[in-house]
Structure 1
Amino acid sequence: MFDRIAPRYDLLNRIMSLGRDRAWRRRAIDALELSPGARLLDLATGTGDLALEALARHPRIEVVGLDPSPRMLALAAAKARRAGAAGSLRLLRGDAQALPFAAARFDAAAMAFGIRNVPDRERALREIARVLRPGGRLAVLELGSPRGRWAGAAARAYIRSVVPRLGALLSRAPEYRYLERSIAAFPAPESFSRTIRECGFESVQVRPLALGACHLYRALRSREGSP
């Protein structure tokens, strides 16, 4: 599915988030508190937006972008070349549920708008915990339903009616109807925060953005025990 929508993915993200997705990614990067020399894993990197933003703001870090879609990775590589960051961003095809890295390889990990697409979220979170050093930081961005009666109703109508039509028009991919279903099926923030905690993390916090249209989850890799 993501190979098919890859060429229009960035434009559709702008439309779906009403232009807020870039600001949300910056919030996630801030939550990671990256320092020079830090090793960042960007899961579901897509076309590389978060990875490249992190490098632009922290040029002395090491970033690995992982995604299962070859076309997404090709677009990310092209964007990295245009940004002059091709030598700083390593791109790999892979699955968040079976990460090809040694334990404690990274200081920080991020996933923007990807965790709801993972079939086994608990397995993926445990894998992320495994490859993070103890005390390493995690930031996850995911879409949700805004708080409040009217805001929630408006968001549901937008996702149910407008987004699929834009997706079909711009990408010729009716799979964008999947977006509505995947958001509706994703756990409530309190439930997903508990899952993060149970998978090897501590100090779990969740912050609603844009009245809950998006949620930023942040956590630390537990310093004791294994995921």
Structure 2
Amino acid sequence: MPLLRDAALTAAFDRGAGRYDRLVALNPGYHAQLRRSARRLRLPDGGAGRRVLDLGCGTGASTAALAAVLPAAEIVGVDASAGMLERARAKRWPDRVSFVHAPAEELGRAGVHGPFDAVLAAYLFRNLTGPDAVLRAVRDLLAPGGRLAVHEYALGGRRADRLVWDAVCRGVILPLGSATGDRALYRHLWRSVAAFDTAPAFAARLRRAGFEDVRVLPLPGWQTGVTHTFVGRRTAGGTGGAR
């Protein structure tokens, strides 16, 4: 079975949006891990005067992490799935948080323009048909010296990491997907991680896209070796996108 891509994947997320929050709540530390990645952006003063893009915001879990860690930042959440975005918008948010319906590949067409001081992308890049093009677009949206944090399932490269991921998928993720009628989406989750870059390979992809000071930071708990935060910075000599 091929991976879901583009419109097919968006449709699967639309169908699964109503059950998504309940399922991810079963993942120990899910929200705490997102807050950890948000903190790894290292924006000062609670984000005061800063503009942050939450790319692939889904139902708003990553947006909530940013809002908690950066209580003074302007946050723009973007997602391609209308169903997921509907769930996000239905939650209570401060006025400094807004949402835009757009694929990651079409931000400018949807009116999402830089410069942003930081971008968080959680569980996004392994789902993209053209991750390199989106990374370059994100780089161009960042202000000079702006920071990117990618929170992603990317296996560490050891055989043990793949065994842990396969065991979690066979024992938890696929049975839950079957029970809720979302088996295709959660099978995609399993296979997309196995097919995606290892952590060192994704770090190299970030460097090729023009990010500097790239670091690969592990996450604690059962996800060690399975999920990482990748952080990088746009060169301070670059120019951000026009507002």
Q: Same fold (TM over 0.5)?
A: yes
**TM superposition shift of 1:5:** 0.8
Deviations 1:12-49 (A, max 9, x none): 2233xx32221211111111122311100000000111
Shift of 1:208: 2.0
Match of 2:228 among 212, 215, 219: 215
Aligned residues with identical type, % of pairs: 36
Q: Is the 8 A contact 2:143 2:239 kept in 1?
A: no
Separation in 1, partners of 2:182, 2:134: 30
The whole-number CA distance in structure 2 between the counterparts of 1:32 and 1:212 is 21
Q: For residues 55-108 of structure 1, what are the alpha-carbon distances to aligned partners after superposition, in whole Å with 9 as ceiling and x for unaligned? A: 2332221000000011111110111x2xxx252211001121232257641000
Question: Which amino acid in structure 2 is aligned with residue 71 of structure 1?
Answer: G
Do the aligned residues in 2 keep the contact of 1:28 with 1:141 (CA within 8 Å)?
yes
**Alpha-carbon spacing, 1:91–1:184, altered in 2? closer, same or farther (3 Å):** same
Conservation of the 8 A alpha-carbon contact between 1:146 and 1:155: no
Q: 125, 129, 136: which one pairs with 1:119?
A: 129
CA distance in 2, matches of 1:200, 1:58: 26
| Range with bigger deviation, 60-69 or 158-167 | 158-167
For 1:158 and 1:102, the matched residues in 2 are separated by 36
> What stretches of structure 1 move > 3 A for 4+ residues in a row?
101-104, 144-152, 224-227
Query: How far 1:177 sits from its partner (Å)?
Result: 0.7
Q: What pairs with 1:4-83 in structure 2 (closer than 5 Å)?
A: 4-15=15-26, 18-34=27-43, 35-79=47-91, 81=92
Q: Is residue 96 from structure 1 mapped to residue 108 from structure 2 by the alignment?
A: no
Gap change, CA 1:197 and 1:151, over 3 Å in 2: closer
Letter in 2 for 1:88: R
Q: TM-score, normalised by structure 1?
A: 0.88
1:105 and 2:115 equivalent? Answer: yes
Q: 2:95 aligns with which of 87, 91, 97?
A: 87
Question: How much has 1:131 moved relative to structure 2?
Answer: 0.5
Relative to the length of structure 2, the TM-score reads 0.83
Instruction: Look up the SS of the partner of 1:111 in the other structure.
Output: strand
**Matched residue SS, 1:32:** coil
Q: Give the whole-Å Cα distance in 1 for the aligned partners of 2:144 and 2:25.
A: 35
Structure 1 Cα separation of the partners of residues 72 and 224 of structure 2: 34
Q: Which runs of 5+ in 2 are unaligned?
A: 1-11
Q: What RMSD over aligned residues (CA atoms) do the two structures have, in Å?
A: 2.1
Partner of 1:176: 186
The one-letter code sitting in structure 1 at the alignment partner of 2:96 is S
Distance 2:73 2:164 in 1: 40
Q: CA deviation at 1:117?
A: 0.7
How far apart, in 2, do the equivalents of 1:226 and 1:202 lie? 15
CA distance in 1, matches of 2:156, 2:175: 21
Give SS of 1:124's match: helix
Shift, 1:159, TM fit: 1.4
Instruction: Count residues with an aligned counterpart.
Output: 221
CA 1:36 to 1:152, structure 2 compared with 1: closer, same or farther past 3 Å? same
CA offsets 1:166-205 (integer angstroms, 9 cap, x no match): 1121244432111111000111111111111111210000
Separation of aligned partners in 2, 1:137 and 1:146 = 23
